[in-house]
């Protein structure tokens, strides 16, 4: 049953414009609405509101940052403020987990047109807070800044606690296997369905596009199980798998049979060619991709291929069934 636009709109949440403009509150009033909603997590010592927050840490802290911009990373028509909050937190926490660390805190910056609606901002803040609370992560602070007309961007920095050794991209060795934890291609299929105005054809894919579900606990688990390399799938299996291959100086060979089920599951919704594209090159999935010594793959991970040494004259890289497939993935400035 196709979703009614009206219902879909209500489900999406408040619009970015209309309602109460952000400029009708001063910064302190706005912060008074926002700060109480933020979770504190287990490791917070001093909450936001002073010059800086204080977080209890261990021997090592993992840090990463990622930014989303209205019109480039999301459209108001497709994603609510809460969706964007969930998504930007998920993609940052996925990077922390992909080092083998446990996410502990985030800082969130909103730079926005003062005509942006307060309702959107509060909905967005709720999304950020919910995603952090679900992961046991503290909101350590942030910044609010006004931007030229039409500009809305959210920048997040995520911190994590690392108790063992970090899992880098460069540690894959010949004889390892490549495995994934989580789905493949759903987020890209969801994007294509939104673009085609056909969200009802695969609601799970559309939901994954709006709110990725990185398997955060699987990052430290993989590290403990002896993962030799790991990253999260942000730019697609071929591009991200190729990063592991090149950083490690090895060849990663994907088994087409291991991907057939993922492709089949998307075929009805987006067609055969697009389904293959989604699985091989679809971005924003934020599943974890890792290499393990053969025989050490933890439960819940699916083996997708194998790692071997590059032959004479062969460059490190990724193959599918022994053959090169070209997909360049995304590039922010060239596609702008």
The binding site for Mg(2+) comprises 51, 64-66, 95, 143, 232, 235
Binder among 159, 274, 279, 320 for its own copies (CB under 8 A) = 159
Site string for its own copies, 169-198 (x = CB under 8 A): xx----------------------------
Q: The dihedral of CA 209, 66, 281, 192: what is its sign?
A: positive
Which CB atom, from 259 or from 288, has the smaller least distance to its own copies?
288
The window from 76-84, 99-107, 183-191, 299-307 that contacts its own copies (CB under 8 A) reads 99-107
- Angle of helix 186-195 versus helix 203-210 axis, rounded to 10: 100
**CA dist list (Å): 147 to 67, 114, 115:** 15, 7, 10
Which CB atom, from 88 or from 280, has the smaller least distance to its own copies?
88
**What SS3 class is residue 189?**
helix
Contact 14, 21 (CB under 8 A): no
DSSP 185: S
Binder among 5, 18, 150, 203 for its own copies (CB under 8 A) = 150
Which CB atom, from 67 or from 310, has the smaller least distance to its own copies?
67
The window from 129-137, 155-163, 220-228, 263-271 that contacts its own copies (CB under 8 A) reads 155-163
Binder among 2, 11, 18, 23 for its own copies (CB under 8 A) = 23
Q: Give residue for tokens 């999304």.
A: 127
204 binds its own copies (CB under 8 A): no
Summarize the annotated binding site for substrate as residue ranges.
Answer: 73, 284, 330
Six-digit token pair at 315?
């460059």
Q: The dihedral of CA 187, 238, 169, 156: what is its sign?
A: negative
105 binds its own copies (CB under 8 A): yes
Report the C-alpha gap between 125 and 13 in whole angstroms.
13
Site string for its own copies, 212-231 (x = CB under 8 A): ------------------xx
Binder among 79, 80, 155, 209 for its own copies (CB under 8 A) = 155
Contact 234, 240 (CB under 8 A): yes
30 binds its own copies (CB under 8 A): yes
Q: C-alpha 156: how far from its chain's center?
A: 12
Contact 287, 198 (CB under 8 A): no
Site for its own copies in 76-95 (CB under 8 A): 94-95
Which CB atom, from 45 or from 204, has the smaller least distance to its own copies?
45
Q: Give residue for tokens 């990725």.
A: 212
């Amino acid at each position: 049953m196709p979703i009614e636009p009206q219902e879909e709109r209500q489900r999406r949440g408040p619009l970015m414009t209309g309602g109460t403009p952000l400029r009708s509150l001063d910064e302190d009033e706005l912060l008074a609405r926002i700060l109480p909603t933020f979770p504190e997590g287990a490791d917070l010592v001093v909450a936001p509101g002073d010059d800086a927050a204080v977080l209890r840490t261990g021997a090592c802290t993992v840090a990463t940052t990622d930014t989303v911009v209205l019109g480039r990373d999301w459209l108001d028509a497709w994603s609510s403020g809460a969706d964007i909050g969930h998504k930007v937190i998920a993609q940052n926490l996925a990077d922390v987990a992909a080092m083998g660390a446990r996410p502990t805190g985030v800082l969130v910056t909103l730079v926005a047109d003062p005509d942006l609606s307060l309702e959107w901002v509060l909905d967005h803040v709720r999304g950020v807070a919910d995603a952090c609370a679900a992961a046991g992560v503290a909101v350590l602070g942030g910044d609010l800044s006004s931007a030229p007309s039409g500009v809305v961007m959210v920048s997040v920095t995520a911190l994590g606690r690392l108790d063992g050794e970090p899992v880098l991209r460069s540690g894959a060795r010949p004889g390892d296997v490549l495995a994934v934890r989580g789905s493949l291609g759903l987020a890209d299929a969801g994007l294509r369905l939104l673009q085609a105005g056909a969200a009802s054809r695969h609601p799970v894919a559309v939901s994954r596009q709006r709110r990725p579900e990185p398997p955060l606990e699987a990052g430290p688990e993989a590290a403990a199980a002896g993962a030799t390399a790991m990253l999260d799938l942000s730019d697609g299996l071929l591009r991200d798998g190729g990063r592991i291959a090149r950083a490690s100086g090895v060849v990663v060979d994907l088994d087409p049979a291991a991907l057939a089920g993922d492709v089949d599951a998307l075929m009805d919704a987006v067609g055969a060619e697009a389904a293959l594209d989604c699985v091989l090159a679809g971005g924003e999935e934020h599943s974890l991709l890792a290499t393990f010594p053969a025989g050490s793959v933890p439960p819940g991970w699916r083996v997708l291929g194998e790692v071997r040494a590059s032959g004479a004259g062969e460059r490190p890289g990724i193959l599918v069934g022994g053959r090169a497939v070209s997909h360049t993935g995304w590039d922010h400035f060239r596609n702008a």
